[in-house]
Amino acid sequence: MKKSNHVQLNFERSIRVPHNRLTFGEEEVQAVADVVSSGQWAGGPRLAELEKALAERAQVTYAVGVASGLGALRLALKGLGVKPGDEVIVPAYSCVALANALMALGAKPIPVDVCDSNWNLDPESARLAITSRTRALVLVNTFGAAAPIADLQDLNIPLIEDCAHGFGLQIDGSIMGGRGDAAVLSFCATKLMGAGEGGAVLTNKRDLDEFVHAWRDYGDQPPDPTRLNEKMNDLEAALAICQLRRLDSMLIARKKAALYYSKCLAPEAKRTGAFRLPQSSENQVWYRYVIEMTSASASIVIERLRRRGIHAECPVTDWRSDDAAQCPTADRAYDRLVSLPLYPTLQPGEQQMVCEALSAVVQELSYA
Ligand SMILES: *Cc1c(COP(=O)(O)O)cnc(C)c1O
């Protein structure tokens, strides 16, 4: 075994509180076993069943399951008419999947600054970035906070709501999915619903539904560099169906854990001024619990938390090119945000360990 593997293994063993943990039970085990023994591992009935359940849950007319969140974004953008050379506005602080989906279509991501209240796209900055080449706009419900879709609906530009962090979110009575022209989901193992991998496009537009259905497969079609294999299989669909049934109870458990953090951490945040807690609002689900360090950089805090067995993470990695426009709030977010462990099975005792470790790290840094 190479030395680096040893270090890695020792490191993993010393983790007392992991950053993510899946929530599952006998239902998931049984659902996968049923698909395996049915002999229909792909192209079977589970995918259609999942699509129906997703559409019902999001109160949209159509849902199409695909291989990943990135695939869902790429096909939604392509289906809404994004072509080579087009510009698409995206939050400067966001998952690199947005940039990759656009670049795969030959389009150009235009990063626009975010707000420091909840790290979502700043609608005013988005308006200022619009040019004659702007073909669409992607909004993300960052960490589970509602993206400002209503503020941009008058633009007459296709809006895509990336709900990888926000499935289950309900805003002023309307559920996510129906607010923009399309919404996309990810079922990657670390998201709100895990299925191993997978994603979905939700829409009320029949032509977009037909487009994504036709383009998730390449079989019997002429060669095309943008026609990839974006199919979701029945094993993933079976898992996603179980996770969808659990979604409400998982969201309640996440919220409970988030409120517990806020209660434990508020006195320390106030006393030291070393970090800022996330804003809590009605229009949100708790995908991540992210604190902003006031003066320390996130990477130092994360490294020191890990030494104490707490697996915190830098929630998003900067993907912007050097020539991208100035986005001071996004710059700060990339530098200062720390994501603490948050998932439905997180125990109060584990949260206590996280809070104590953070308090110790803050004290260490104040003497440094
Ligand atoms: C994870 C993520 C994606 C990509 O989803 P995959 O299923 O990993 O391809 C897209 N957008 C956001 C905001 C994400 O967090």
The string of pLDDT tens digits covering residues 274-323 is: 999 999 888 899 999 999 999 999 999 999 999 999 999 999 999 998 87
Mean pLDDT for the stretch of residues 319-330: 90
Decide whether any atom of ligand 1 lies within 6 Å of the 68 Cβ.
Answer: yes
Confidence of residue 173 (pLDDT cuts 50, 70, 90): low
CA separation, residue 265 to residues 42, 78, 299, 351 (Å): 47, 44, 20, 10
195: tokens are: 């299925």
How many angstroms does the Cα of residue 69 sit away from the middle of ligand 1?
A: 5
pLDDT at position 323:
79
Decide whether any atom of ligand 1 lies within 6 Å of the 166 Cβ.
Answer: no
Q: What is the DSSP letter of 117?
A: T
Decide whether any atom of ligand 1 lies within 6 Å of the 95 Cβ.
Answer: yes
Give the H or E element holding residue 238.
Answer: helix 234-272
Q: Residue 155 in contact with residue 135, Cβ under 8 Å? A: no
How many angstroms does the Cα of residue 73 sit away from the middle of ligand 1?
A: 9
- The whole model's pTM is what? 0.94
**Degrees, nearest 5: CA angle 74-250-66:** 20
Report the percentage of the chain scoring pLDDT > 90: 89
Report the C-alpha gap between 31 and 50 in whole angstroms. Answer: 13
pLDDT at position 175:
65
SS3 51: helix
Instruction: State yes or no: pLDDT of 3 exceeds 50.
Output: no
How many angstroms does the Cα of residue 296 sit away from the middle of ligand 1?
A: 28
Determine phi and psi for 359, rounding to 5 degrees.
-60, -40
**Of ligand 1's atoms, which has the minimum distance to the CA of residue 199?**
7
62-66 and 87-91 strand pairing: unpaired
CA separation, residue 95 to residues 111, 140, 164, 267, 271 (Å): 11, 9, 10, 32, 33
Instruction: State yes or no: pLDDT of 13 exceeds 80.
Output: no
Half-sphere exposure of 275 (CA within 13 A, CB side): 32
pLDDT at position 209:
97
pLDDT at position 168:
84
**Of ligand 1's atoms, which has the minimum distance to the CA of residue 70?**
9
CA separation, residue 275 to residues 16, 314, 328 (Å): 23, 15, 18
How many angstroms does the Cα of residue 264 sit away from the middle of ligand 1?
A: 30
Mean pLDDT for the stretch of residues 68-85: 98
Instruction: State yes or no: pLDDT of 82 exceeds 90.
Output: yes
How many angstroms does the Cα of residue 26 sit away from the middle of ligand 1?
A: 27
Instruction: State yes or no: pLDDT of 172 exceeds 80.
Output: no
The whole-chain average pLDDT of the chain stands at 93
Decide whether any atom of ligand 1 lies within 6 Å of the 142 Cβ.
Answer: no
How many angstroms does the Cα of residue 94 sit away from the middle of ligand 1?
A: 10
Confidence of residue 2 (pLDDT cuts 50, 70, 90): very low
> Cβ contacts of residue 112 below 8 Å, gap of 6+?
89, 90, 91, 92, 121, 122, 125, 126, 129, 325, 327
Q: What is the DSSP letter of 17?
A: B
How many angstroms does the Cα of residue 74 sit away from the middle of ligand 1?
A: 11
Report the C-alpha gap between 183 and 275 in whole angstroms. Answer: 33
Nearest CA to ligand 1 atom 3: 69
Report the C-alpha gap between 224 and 273 in whole angstroms. Answer: 55
pLDDT at position 186:
98
Report the C-alpha gap between 42 and 306 in whole angstroms. Answer: 40
1: tokens are: 């075994």
pLDDT at position 12:
55
Question: Which of 21-30, 100-109, 150-159, 261-270 is the least confident region?
Answer: 150-159
Mean pLDDT for the stretch of residues 200-219: 97
Best of 95, 114, 228 to mutate for ligand 1, by most ligand atoms within 8 A of CB? Answer: 95
Nearest CA to ligand 1 atom 5: 69
Report the C-alpha gap between 327 and 271 in whole angstroms. Answer: 30
**Of ligand 1's atoms, which has the minimum distance to the CA of residue 142?**
13
Across the beta sheet with 108-112, the strand order is 62-66, 199-203, 182-186, 159-162, 134-140, 87-91, 108-112
**Of ligand 1's atoms, which has the minimum distance to the CA of residue 191?**
1
Confidence of residue 1 (pLDDT cuts 50, 70, 90): very low
